[in-house]
């Protein structure tokens, strides 16, 4: 279905990533947000607070991130599309509730505008060091989807994608910005509402006595419901059966937890979001994401100018990791170079997918600023030898 025009600020804008992200959530149909101030993410909800009263919805600044991360889930079960926004320290606080969203299959979006860590770290400076946490941060076995924009335009576009995927898979989606993308100002084109595809919530068509809130469809995802419609349903974080009732035994654990991972399969490899260029004749491929991909592009161009056949694989959907795409590419190249604003996170996934079929050269950076393209170029040149 098309976006509701009330939330779509059609036009050509000059916005930073945080602001563009907010516009994306509104275009996607988000009408509820809860948040807590934390640099460098606060502008997302500040803008939402200022926009939402004339669009029709609610923003509430909660007392902490623990509250914000579950208030949005209450809103989802009340029928709204909802999201929260934070950065590292708040993301850590939200982990229990990301797990709750995954376990209860609550469609919602968590935006993390990553900054230097660990702990209080570098509040105003970029890093990409929450990538593993986005996937594994909560306890237990569960899956999530994570998207990495590399421009304010993508902050807008991928916010919409995030909501759409969360509804399609009944899963929490992490939108992983970084301080650089969040605070850089660029042209953002917001099309007409009729040009924006929005995935509606998959409410059940079954009557209350037949509907089971955790009974999956063919695609392993159950239909949704909302409070107040007479379904008298139950949602619990305890291991539960298809009725939603606690069913704390080995069989249910196996069945439910496996499905939570398997339901994401259709997205993980065939539909994974990535941007590639110059792969056909590439001897070295630079695998990157977020702001680092902008710098990597420069390094790839510089390498080509020097006669090195460098290619680009930009990861946009980081989780589930596009392992089959990387594994298929590995035997065709000499090496993959993985620059990231952390000391080794997504490179581990690349190494795992590559499984020794080519060299993997890591270009770490503890964060605080972006890579110097020369450093990535040097790695490309070394890898090409």
Using CB under 8 A, list all residues that contact other proteins: 4, 6, 29, 31-32, 34, 53-58, 60, 62-64, 66-68, 70-82, 96-97, 100, 167, 200-201, 203, 226-238, 245-246
DSSP 148-165: ---SHHHHHHHHHHHHHH
H or E element in which residue 359 lies: strand 359-363
**Rounded distance between C-alpha atoms, residue 289 and residue 282, angstroms:** 19
Helix 291-305 vs helix 373-384: crossing angle, to nearest 10: 50
CB 192 to other proteins: min, Å: 18
Q: How far is residue 337's CA from residue 39's CA, in Å, rounded to a whole number? A: 31
> Minimal distance in Å, beta carbon 139 to other proteins?
12
- In the complex, what is the shortest distance from the CB of residue 89 to other proteins, in angstroms, rounded to a whole number? 16
Nearest distance, CB of residue 168 and other proteins, angstroms:
13
Q: How far apart are CA 96 and CA 118, in angstroms?
A: 18
Separation of alpha carbons 308 and 306, rounded Å: 6
Q: Which is nearer to other proteins, 31 or 314 (CB)?
A: 31
Nearest distance, CB of residue 229 and other proteins, angstroms: 7
Cβ-based nearer residue to other proteins, 75 or 184: 75
Phi-psi category of 227—alpha, beta or left, where left has phi over 0 and alpha has psi -120 to 50? beta
In angstroms, give the least distance from the CB of 12 to other proteins: 24
Question: Least CB distance from residue 360 to other proteins, whole Å?
Answer: 39
Residue among 198 and 284 whose Cβ is closer to other proteins: 198
Of the pair 216, 237, the CB lying nearest other proteins is at 237
Q: For other proteins, which is the closer residue by CB, 66 or 366?
A: 66
d(CA 301, CA 88): 32
End-to-end CA distance of the chain: 51
Comparison of 29 and 311: residue with beta carbon closer to other proteins: 29
Q: Count other C-beta atoms under 10 Å from residue 234's C-beta.
A: 12
For residue 147, give the nearest of 121, 110, 179 by alpha carbon.
Answer: 110
CB of 81 to other proteins, least distance (A): 6
Q: Which is nearer to other proteins, 57 or 116 (CB)?
A: 57
Shortest Cβ 188–other proteins spacing (Å): 23
Rounded to whole angstroms, the Cα distance separating 58 from 14 reads: 26
Contact call for residues 47 and 22 (beta carbons, < 8 A): yes
d(Cα 109, Cα 172) in Å, to the nearest integer? 6
Closest to other proteins by CB, 76 or 111 = 76
Nearer to other proteins, 64 or 219 (CB): 64
Q: How many CA atoms lie within 13 A of 154 on its CB side?
A: 24
């Amino acid at each position: 279905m098309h976006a509701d025009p009330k939330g779509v600020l059609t036009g050509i804008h000059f916005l930073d990533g945080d602001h563009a992200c907010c516009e994306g959530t509104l275009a996607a149909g988000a009408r509820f947000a809860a948040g807590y101030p934390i640099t460098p993410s606060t502008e997302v909800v500040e803008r939402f607070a200022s926009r939402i009263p004339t669009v029709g919805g609610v923003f509430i600044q909660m007392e902490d991130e623990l509250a914000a991360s579950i208030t949005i889930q209450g809103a989802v079960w009340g029928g709204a599309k909802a999201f929260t926004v934070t950065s590292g320290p708040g993301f850590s606080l939200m982990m229990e509730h990301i797990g709750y969203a995954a376990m209860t299959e609550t469609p919602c979006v968590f935006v993390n505008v990553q900054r230097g860590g660990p702990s209080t770290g570098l509040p105003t400076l970029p890093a990409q060091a929450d990538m593993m946490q986005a996937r594994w941060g909560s306890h237990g076995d569960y899956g999530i989807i994570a998207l990495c924009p590399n421009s304010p335009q993508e902050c807008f576009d991928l916010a919409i994608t995030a909501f759409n995927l969360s509804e399609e898979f009944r899963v929490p989606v992490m939108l992983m910005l970084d301080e650089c993308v969040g605070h850089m100002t660029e042209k953002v084109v917001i099309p007409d509402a009729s040009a924006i595809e929005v995935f509606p919530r998959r409410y059940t068509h079954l009557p209350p006595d037949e509907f089971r809130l955790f009974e999956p469809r063919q695609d392993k995802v159950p239909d949704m419901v909302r409070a107040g419609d007479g379904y008298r349903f139950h949602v619990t974080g305890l291991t539960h059966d298809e009725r939603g009732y606690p069913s704390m035994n080995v069989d249910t654990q196996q069945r439910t937890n496996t499905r939570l991972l398997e339901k994401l399969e259709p997205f993980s490899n065939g539909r994974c979001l990535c941007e590639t260029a110059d792969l056909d004749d590439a001897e070295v491929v630079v695998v990157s994401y977020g702001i680092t991909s902008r710098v990597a592009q420069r390094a790839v161009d510089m390498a080509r100018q020097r006669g090195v056949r460098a290619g680009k694989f930009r990861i946009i959907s980081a989780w589930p990791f596009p392992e089959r795409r990387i594994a298929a590419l590995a035997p065709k190249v000499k090496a993959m170079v993985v620059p990231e604003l952390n000391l080794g996170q997504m490179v581990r996934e690349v190494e795992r997918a590559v499984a020794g079929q080519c060299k993997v050269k890591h270009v770490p950076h503890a964060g605080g600023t972006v890579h110097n393209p020369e450093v990535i170029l040097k790695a490309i040149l070394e890898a090409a030898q």
